[in-house]
Structure formats: C-alpha cells, structure tokens
Structure 1
C-alpha cells in the first residue's frame, strides 16, 4: 500500500491485493488529512506501507504508530500491524508511474484502426502503442489524481521487485506470481464518507491481532487478524464463504448513498425472507458452506507443479475445492430458479449469466477424470486417475512388473553369492534417478556393507548409506536399469505433465470461475444480511431524499445482545431543507429539531442511544435491514463523531486537544445531509471554558440555517440552559433518560433505577454523587461532594465556605490556645555553671502541658 500527502491535506493512495491480483487506485481525497489516512489503514489493513521520504512529519508519525519495529520483541509480544518502508520520492513520480501503469496490458482487443505515427516523436504520437495504452488506462483511472497515480507507481515498483526475487528462486516454467490482472479505481461518488473515528467509535470495524505472535502473519500478503465485538463481526459470522465475508467488509467500508442500489439490496433481502422461500434459502445456505476460497485455489493452480520429495506439490484439497465449486455453482444456479419474487431483481439474472452449467460441469468432469481422490486420500499425495494418460498407465504397469520382480531378484542375488553373505543382503528396491539397488547391512566400523561382492566378475558400486543399510549397484542391476530406465522419474514427469494439462485446461475458464466466485460472494453477503434480519428481528427502513431521521423503537444491534432486555427508543431529527440534486423531498421535515440535546444522569444510556441512531443510519446505507419497529432514513452523506478520544504515547497531544481536532473536523466537513454525534464535548478543560465551547459549537450549526446538519449531542453542562444561553425551539430539542429515585432505600444501589427510556425535556441533574456511591467511592468523599454541590446551588462562595472553621475544630482549638498562652508566660532560665539547662527546660514544658485546664479558656 502506497500513501502520500500533498498540500492542503490532499491524500493519495494505491494498494495491491495479491489474492485478487488487482491494483486498486483511490481517487485523490481533497483536504482528507490524517483522518483519511487513518480510515484507509483501517479499511485496507495492509501488510506493507510505502511512503515517500518527503512525506510530511504528521503522516510519518501516524504511520509509525502501528508499524513494526526492529525492537518488536517486547514484553507484550505484540507486533506492529504492517511493515513501514520509506522510499525515494522519485518512486512516487507521477509521469513515471503513469507510463508504468500504461505498460500493463489491460485489454487484449486489437486496435481496429492502425495509425502510422510520424517519424518525429513517434513513441508519443497519436496512434502509437504508448498513446493507445494511455487511452486504455484513462478508461479505468482518473489521471487527474496525481498523488494516487504516484502511489500506484511506487506499489508497481515494489511488486516488480518481489516478482524478481521470487522468480529467481523458483522454477522458470512455473506460473509467475504477483501478477496484475486488473486496475480498479475507487471513487467517493455515491459513497457515504466515514472516518476511522466513526468506524471505531460505533464499533463497525474492530480488528484485533492474532493472540499468537507467530501466527499474526501467515505469509507476506495476508494479515491474520480476528474481529472482536463489532457490526462486521456480527455479520461475518452469518456469512458462509470467505468471498461473502470480504464483500460484507467492502459494503461496511463503503456505505452507499445511491437509493436505487440500497433499494435493490433491500428487495433482495425481502425475497430471501419470504415464508415460501424459507426452505429454498436454507438449501442455498447449505450449498454455500461447501464453497471454498476459489481465488486462493486458483493461485496454487497458476503456480504450476513440481517434484517435492517425490510427490506432486499441488494439494489434492485444491482440486477437490475446484471440483466442489464447479458442482455447487451449477446447483446454486438451479436452486435460485426455485425462489419466488426474483423477477424484479438484477442480481439473479447476473448469477444466471455468470454461471454457465456446461462450462462448470466440464471443469468438474475434467478433474474427476484426472485426479483419483480416494487413492490420493489413502496415499497422502495427489494420484492420477487410471485412464487419464495412456503413457502414464503403461509406465505404471511396467513399474508394477518391475516391483514384482524385486523378491525374485533378491533371492537370485543371495544364491549367486556365498551363503554367509546371504544373511547380510536384505532386499532390492527401485529409487528415482538411482534405479535398481540392493541393500546390505552396514558395517558400523567401516561405514560400508558387511558384504560388497567379493568376486572378480561382479563389481559392486556403493551408492549411499541410510538407516543402517548400504545400497549397492552391480552388473545385473545396471542391466535392469538400461532395460527399464528410470521408471519413478518417468512416472513423476508424466504425472506433472498430466496435472499441467489439467491446470491449463481449467485456467482457460479462469474468468468464468472468478466471475462466478465474485457473484456468489455478493449473494452470500446478502444472505448474511437476510439471516441477520430474521435472527435479530430487523426491519426494512424506508430510504428517502428528505433530510430526516425518523426511528420508532430503535435498538443498538450490539448492546441488545449483551443485556437481558433492551429498552427501545424513538428518534426524530431533521437537517436543513437546502437544495441539492438528490431528487424531490418525500417526507416532511418541518417542525422537527435539527439538534437533539441529551442531558440527565450518568450511566443512563445516553451514549448508547446516540450510537444506536448512527448505527441504524449506517446499516440502512449498506442496504441492510435495521433494528427498529419502523425507520425512515434520509440520505446521509457522512457520519461525523466526537465520541471516543483515541490517545497514544506516540502523539504528544492532550486528550482535550484530540477532542478539539475531532470537533473541528465535524465543523469543517459537515453538510446539511451529515449526521453529527458529540458526546460530552468540552469536558477536558475548566467548566466555564468547556461549557462556552460547547454552546458555541452548537450555535455554529444553528447559524447555518437551511444548511444545518442533523446533530445528536450529550452533555452535563446544565448552566448553559439554566442561563438561557440555549433553549428549546427553533431547531433545538431536549431529551433525557428516565430514572426512578428512592432516597429512603438502605442499599445505595437501590436508591436509583435506570429505566433507559427516552423522555422529552431536560434532565435537571446528572446524579453524579449517587453514581459515585454506587461505584464504591468512599462515603466521606461523596458526602463532601454533596455538601459542595448544595453550596453551589445556593450561590455560596466556595472558597469562603471552605475556609470557615467548624464547631468541632473550634472546640479543639481552645485547649491548644491555653497551652500556648502558658508557654508564653513561662520564664526560661538562663544557662549557667552547674545548671542542667536541657533538663530544666524539659521539666518546664512537661509542667505546661500537664497542668489542669482552666474552664475559661479566654476564647
């Protein structure tokens, strides 16, 4: 993955997926900044990151945060997420990268018109091969994305280096690796923009490194990470194939704002949820579980085969997976025809067109006629089916006859030699490249055989020694070698030829297999969404062009799985009407607030409520059903959050500064169709400063008028509302979570009951001291805090109140003052000859302290 940052925070990125053999080029993100880089890292999960030496320091510091280091042998055993490599800036040159990309053969279709270039500057003239290549490149890549094109050039150079290293260490006849079969450009059009803070704060994606450091990376191109509790983790568990899991991640990483696409996915899910289709859908899911990662299988097939320890290196399981895929694909195509209600959907015709049963059945038949799976299972390596090759069958018959000769050959050698030598001649065998050999017991002192042909007419030549035996070759065995030849090697070579022919035949249908694999992955992802809707009780939201969010009985998709019972809540907010090109508004937004402010007790569910609203909006934009009774979701172009403060020792920024940067990002990038979540913004500084910043933050959005976004905020700054700085009305509404108080309860935990039910209006107290008592804060600390709160509510001067002396302290000061007065009245004698001054003074002090106290202390 290559990343670069230009002026004004412009971000360029390109990355190569070895499994897909596709080079992806991101469109330059204007003013994306560090937030865009963080989002790309989270979504792509690269194993290697390339950055130019001239990169800004803030980009380098961000990338070094999660990079592997030479001193990664830490006590925690954790490794970095990727290898960070600093390259010369010349490798990110735009012109060089553009020429390198243009040199990749993207199409094999010949140019129907041949233009003869002029002699001057022939290579760059219209009609030249270079010009045609650039025209082909421009069809798939926006050449105005200079930074991303430069990153693609750096990635391309790194791929070439890797290919050179691998080619030098592998068989020249093997299929090359690190190939680029396609170039794709990702554009932000019709895509909801989300930052890494959103993905992490809402727990949409949350990957964790493998707990075993040795297993965190299985090879140079795949990261072994597991998904913790997250929306993706919830959905991927319902997918049956690796293709479906990958498609789900892509959908979550790039939620759509295209209502037609969203509606298509919802209608597909609705078809799967029809009662009459239930049995067919269950059968389809059962078939999908048999589909393996076809892309990985084809990678092994394309690499070819060679001899490793006398066996074919390609795994029998790969052929079995291809056979199963070819059969299951045809069965799935037929099963989908049994679904009702598919006539209005586009995915089913695409599946019908992508899977050609005769082609896939022919692939399966070729594999069945070539690979003997039963014999392969018994032998532990790939075995060729009898009849796949006449020459191979003949070689095996000859080899079998030769093996049948070995016992007689052993007896003959024993009889031809002295009787005493017979006990040392063990057996005869046939080995690849060595031919026929006779094994003799080894002499441990000399390292040679105890018998090695002591006759003049029979010269025994030692070949090698192994496992207490020495292998010899004599004249009779040499004659057999010349007659039969190297049968094991001939059989191995013919087996390789047969498998290579099968590989070539299968790879002629590679495009068909890949298309079918991709479409089945999309089908599996939609089946997973349908299964989630049925399993968790989700409903289809109504998508609208109106700038509104109207949710009835919404639930948090993750939180409801962790509690015995979840209390659903409603939400209705609307952004400014504005003007855009999304179409006619079809839902009224008048009278609905644009800013909804949550106040009230801690631990009552305010943060969960805000996140569940955002997650419902997010799920709706990937085409999924949502956890609610009813939902009308307006097209939302981005979700911006100021919720989680992600701190790291790499950055020297305080928590408050990080919060300010997140808040600034929401203000700079919000549009009227954005949804903003801010939880307790301003809490990292003094109460006066924090409340002022919070009030100004909300006022900024209100001042946008018809262009104001939808805002959900939670705060404990009650003085803003008590002083009428911000009041309900004119686009602002208040809400709080209901609680029941019982001050008379003996157990402090029974004094408050959180009902987690949203009520309109302000919550007048945060009940912070009660929450502190419930969470085992010392009672004297809680009581002192309550006393200070009471003084604040009475507008008392806390400094003056805290400086007053209590009655108990006054009573304790009386005797102390009396002792002090007695001490001042005491005459201390002058030291002289024969006078023990130290003993005299000590006695006086004891008398001052021990004298009976007078009733009148003079206070």
Structure 2
C-alpha cells in the first residue's frame, strides 16, 4: 500500500453558525498533510514507551530514571514548550532536509562552548510564557499590572535572546523557525519597551497591582493626583468648619470613591440623635456604628473636586489605552516572536539531552540503510548502572532480522531500542550509540504487548492478528516493523505457522520489503 496522507482540520475560535457560505467556512479551516511526519499509531506510542501512560503509577527512585521517551527529552521551561515538544515526539519528521536543519541547530546549541549561552537562554525563556494570553488580556482593557509586567519582560527577553542566538548562529546557519530572532529589528522592541516605561511607573504599579502612570506625562492627571494626595488636609479643614458651626458634636469628614465626600458621626443605631442636625443635612447610609450625611460643606467639596479617585482612574485608563494602541501596532511580531520562543525552548531541551555522555548525532540518508553501532535503550539505561550495547544492521538486500535467545536476555529491550533510536534520530536529537546511519523511516508499525484485552474487549490472539494485519496492510518499503512474540499464549503450531507465512510474504516482496525485526520464542 502506498504512503498514507492524513488530513488534520483545525477550526478557528468560531464559525458563524448563520453563514451558509462554504467559502466562508473554509476561511476558518487549515489543512495539513502528514506525509512529512513519521506514522506511529497510538498503541505503539504506549507500547514503545514514547509517551507515559497516565493511568500507571511508576515510582522512580531517582530523578535520572525515565519511564518514557517524552520524559527523557523534556527539559522545556514553559508549558507551551512542553506541549510543542510532545507534538514533536509523537510526530517525528520524515523530510530529511527539515530533520537535518533541526539537527544542525540542536548540534550547535549542545556544543560545550555554547553551554553557558544555552543556560542563559533557558533562564530568559521563563519570561516568554503566556504572551498570547497577556496580549488578549491587554486588548480587553485589563489594567492588572502582571499582564503589563509580563509584556515588558517579554520585550526585554526577546532582545536578550536575539543577542544570545547571534553568538551561536549566522543568518545562513540558523533554522527557519528561529530566523526571526536575527531578522527582527531589535531596535523596535527596545523602543516599544522604553515607550511603555515612559508612561508606566513599575514600582507603584507593583505595589498596587494595577497600572499606575508616572508623573509628568499628563498635566490634568498630575493635578488630580496632587489634590488626591492632599485629601487629608482638605478633610481636616472641612471637619474644622463643620465643628465650628455645630459645637459640642464629634464629626469626621471622609471621602469614599463613587460616593464622594461625606460627614461621618458615630451613633447608637437603636437611638439616633437628630436634634443637632441642620435641616439641609441628608442621610446617605448607615453602618452598625456610623451614620453618613451630606452637608453643605461636603457638597461644596464634591463640586470642587468631584469623585477624584474615579476621575484619576478614568484618566489613567485613557492613557493606558493610548499605550495599548501603540503596543498593538506590534501585535503580529510579538506573537510571532512568542511562537519562535516556544520553538527555541524545544531546541534547547533537545540540546540538553544531546550533550549527555555517550550520545551522538546520527547520519541520515534517503536509502534503506539502518546501521546502529553499540546502540543502547535510552530509557532502560537510566535505570541500570551497566547496559550492554548492541549493533543493528539492515541493508538493501538484508531487511529482515529474527532475534532469538533465552528468556530475560533482553530481546524485547533490543527491539524497542531500535524503534526509539530511529524516532529520536528523526526528531533531530542525538541518540545513545557509538555511531549510526539511518535511512529515513516513514512508519513504525508494531506487534508488541499493548493495552490488552480487558480494555479492548478482544482476545490476546485476536489482538495479535489485528496488529500483524495492520503491519502488512500499512507497510511500505521505508517502514520499520517490530514484531515481539507473535502468537504467544496461543497454539504454538498455528501461531508459528502464521508467523512463518508472514515472514515468507515479506521476503517475497524483494526490494519493496519493509525493514522487519522480530523475535519468536
């Protein structure tokens, strides 16, 4: 069967349900061809321990032990980076030029002389997370300081990352998905950051949790702030005037946003004394201990100063909106740099693995060769002090390998090791081996132990037949098939006969035969 091309449809935030236009609908649809991605089905992902099973509680005795390939490769700093890396791990590449581009970038970042730069990049990446949600929060008019603070830190960080990457790459060597760091005008980001800080006061904003505007940028705002800061003296003077007109009574004059200036008097709520109160005084509200009034004196303050706090807030919102309009002029490059930062997070994560002792970058070819010298299982070796490496060698005229040996001799580990090494190579990462030459694999198909009959409501033999049938149906000459103990637990004669027939079928395919490795008890 030929190569399978899958279709992925991603619908945007919404499609107008009232629209009947097919053309309008397709404006919201993205098509993706999976021809450039290595096919691995869900059962194989779990059986090969590519991704962890969430329902299993595998206890680890040390941080160095790993139970899945994703756990081994994930040194990402941000949640977005971890999510993208999982996508990379589940869908290794098959386009050799793209693999080599990614591998070369990881190779540069993993070099010992770039170790300090890589660590600086990882520290900086902490300040690039959530930039998309931050921009959305700014767009809806939120004055929460943490959103603006994160945006300012993001702009600073992009400048820092650009400088770090210029120390490692040139315009000719940097991969396409990181090229923005060298192409973007860093000056624009610096100027935007300086523009924001021209208006925003970071220290006061941090203390109050919302954006505060610095003095000197708006005369009206400065005047209102001066009046607001002088409220204590204004209230004391008003209290003095009221006390002169109504002696032998104790009053306080207060200011409450949205209610304005009020006269406050402690009262026994069960018996409020109104004999002292002038006719023009009006009760506004009362609490368990105080009654609040409007008098001529505080009405004068309302008229002179207005709802000063609300006026200050409204003016600050207007200024912040002006700042936001400037920021949104750079929305597209900011979001693009956010995406590039997530990709950089993944590159640094894979570089962290690739610099481990005993890891090498494989040679990748377009032929059918699969040669791994002194290869090791990347997960099993994290649990053992000593791991015995093994060689693997597939050639154009020798594409079927049958592995035999005693129980518990490591046959299953060896088979799974081949698949994991191939996946790591096509992700672009270094592999645990002495050296390797890997011809690009388009599918990894398996007949291995998986989530068995209790979950699938099938017998073990039925699952065996289904999985091997899948391998036969989907395999191409570039596929890698892993068969582990086909027919175990079934009739030994029939299962061996079926397996022998499958081997004979693959052998009869000649040069079109996939690369097949298996062991049979």
TM-based fold match above 0.5:
yes
Match of residue 460 from structure 1: 282
Match of residue 370 from structure 2: 549
- The offset of 1:189, in angstroms, is 2.6
Is 1:261 equivalent to 2:98 in the alignment? yes
Match of residue 63 from structure 2: none
Is 1:287 equivalent to 2:116 in the alignment? no
Distance 2:36 2:513 in 1: 21
Distance 1:470 1:647 in 2: 74
Distance 1:651 1:249 in 2: 25
- The offset of 1:643, in angstroms, is 1.4
Is 1:434 equivalent to 2:256 in the alignment? no
Describe the shift of the 1:613–1:10 C-alpha distance in structure 2 as closer, same or farther (beyond 3 A).
closer
Match of residue 485 from structure 1: 306
Is 1:100 equivalent to 2:19 in the alignment? no
1:492-503 equivalences under 5 Å are: 492-503=313-324
Match of residue 61 from structure 2: none
User: Aligned to 2:168, what secondary structure does the other structure show?
Assistant: coil
Query: 1:375, 1:383 within 8 Å by CA — same for their partners in 2?
Result: yes
Describe the shift of the 1:434–1:210 C-alpha distance in structure 2 as closer, same or farther (beyond 3 A).
farther
Describe the shift of the 1:398–1:652 C-alpha distance in structure 2 as closer, same or farther (beyond 3 A).
same
Describe the shift of the 1:707–1:96 C-alpha distance in structure 2 as closer, same or farther (beyond 3 A).
farther
Match of residue 387 from structure 1: 216
Larger Rg computed on CA atoms = 1
Is 1:618 equivalent to 2:394 in the alignment? no
Is 1:691 equivalent to 2:468 in the alignment? no
Query: 2:99, 2:427 within 8 Å by CA — same for their partners in 1?
Result: yes
- The offset of 1:654, in angstroms, is 2.7
Distance 2:162 2:370 in 1: 39
Match of residue 203 from structure 1: 49
- The offset of 1:207, in angstroms, is 6.2
- Which of 373, 387, 393 is the matching residue for 1:572? 393
Query: 2:7, 2:32 within 8 Å by CA — same for their partners in 1?
Result: no
Describe the shift of the 1:392–1:202 C-alpha distance in structure 2 as closer, same or farther (beyond 3 A).
farther
Distance 1:258 1:13 in 2: 18
1:572-591 equivalences under 5 Å are: 572-574=393-395, 589-590=396-397
Distance 2:264 2:428 in 1: 71
- The offset of 1:516, in angstroms, is 1.5
- The offset of 1:195, in angstroms, is 1.2
Is 1:538 equivalent to 2:363 in the alignment? no
Match of residue 235 from structure 1: 73
- The offset of 1:327, in angstroms, is 1.4
Report Cα offsets for 1:369-428 as digits up to 9, x if no partner.
232221122223332222343322222122223343113323443443352x41xx3x32
Distance 1:662 1:669 in 2: 11
User: Aligned to 1:14, what secondary structure does the other structure show?
Assistant: strand
Match of residue 379 from structure 2: 558
Report Cα offsets for 1:742-764 as digits up to 9, x if no partner.
xxxxxxxxxxxxxxxxxxxxxxx
- The offset of 1:670, in angstroms, is 0.4
Report Cα offsets for 1:28-78 as digits up to 9, x if no partner.
xxxxxxxxxxxxxxxxxxxxxxxxxxxxxxxxxxxxxxxxxxxxxxxxxxx
User: Aligned to 1:208, what secondary structure does the other structure show?
Assistant: coil
Describe the shift of the 1:389–1:655 C-alpha distance in structure 2 as closer, same or farther (beyond 3 A).
farther
User: Aligned to 2:292, what secondary structure does the other structure show?
Assistant: strand
Report Cα offsets for 1:102-130 as digits up to 9, x if no partner.
5x5xxxxxxxxxxxxxxxxxxxxxxxxxx
- The offset of 1:610, in angstroms, is 1.1
Distance 1:490 1:203 in 2: 61
Distance 2:451 2:89 in 1: 21
Query: 1:429, 1:438 within 8 Å by CA — same for their partners in 2?
Result: yes
Match of residue 771 from structure 1: none
Describe the shift of the 1:304–1:258 C-alpha distance in structure 2 as closer, same or farther (beyond 3 A).
same
Distance 2:56 2:322 in 1: 39
Match of residue 29 from structure 1: none
Match of residue 272 from structure 1: 109
User: Aligned to 1:394, what secondary structure does the other structure show?
Assistant: helix
Distance 2:56 2:152 in 1: 32
For normalisation by structure 2, the TM-score amounts to: 0.89
Match of residue 62 from structure 2: none
Instruction: Give the CA RMSD over aligned residues.
Output: 3.0
Match of residue 628 from structure 1: 433
- The offset of 1:278, in angstroms, is 3.5
Query: 2:8, 2:32 within 8 Å by CA — same for their partners in 1?
Result: no
Report Cα offsets for 1:82-105 as digits up to 9, x if no partner.
xxxxxxxxx8x9x95733325x5x
Is 1:296 equivalent to 2:133 in the alignment? yes
Report Cα offsets for 1:198-223 as digits up to 9, x if no partner.
22222222363899xxxxxxxxxxxx
- The offset of 1:434, in angstroms, is 0.7
Is 1:192 equivalent to 2:38 in the alignment? yes
Unaligned runs of 5+ in 2: 58-65
- The offset of 1:464, in angstroms, is 4.4
User: Aligned to 1:535, what secondary structure does the other structure show?
Assistant: coil
Q: Say how many residue pairs are matched.
A: 509
- The offset of 1:641, in angstroms, is 1.2
Describe the shift of the 1:190–1:300 C-alpha distance in structure 2 as closer, same or farther (beyond 3 A).
same
1:639-654 equivalences under 5 Å are: 639-647=444-452, 651-654=456-459
- The offset of 1:442, in angstroms, is 4.5
Describe the shift of the 1:435–1:349 C-alpha distance in structure 2 as closer, same or farther (beyond 3 A).
closer
Match of residue 763 from structure 1: none
Query: 2:144, 2:209 within 8 Å by CA — same for their partners in 1?
Result: no
Describe the shift of the 1:353–1:269 C-alpha distance in structure 2 as closer, same or farther (beyond 3 A).
closer
1:592-603 equivalences under 5 Å are: 593-603=398-408
Describe the shift of the 1:434–1:453 C-alpha distance in structure 2 as closer, same or farther (beyond 3 A).
farther
User: Aligned to 2:343, what secondary structure does the other structure show?
Assistant: helix
- Which of 318, 325, 331 is the matching residue for 2:147? 318
Report Cα offsets for 1:470-490 as digits up to 9, x if no partner.
322222212211221121221
Is 1:339 equivalent to 2:177 in the alignment? no
Describe the shift of the 1:699–1:487 C-alpha distance in structure 2 as closer, same or farther (beyond 3 A).
same
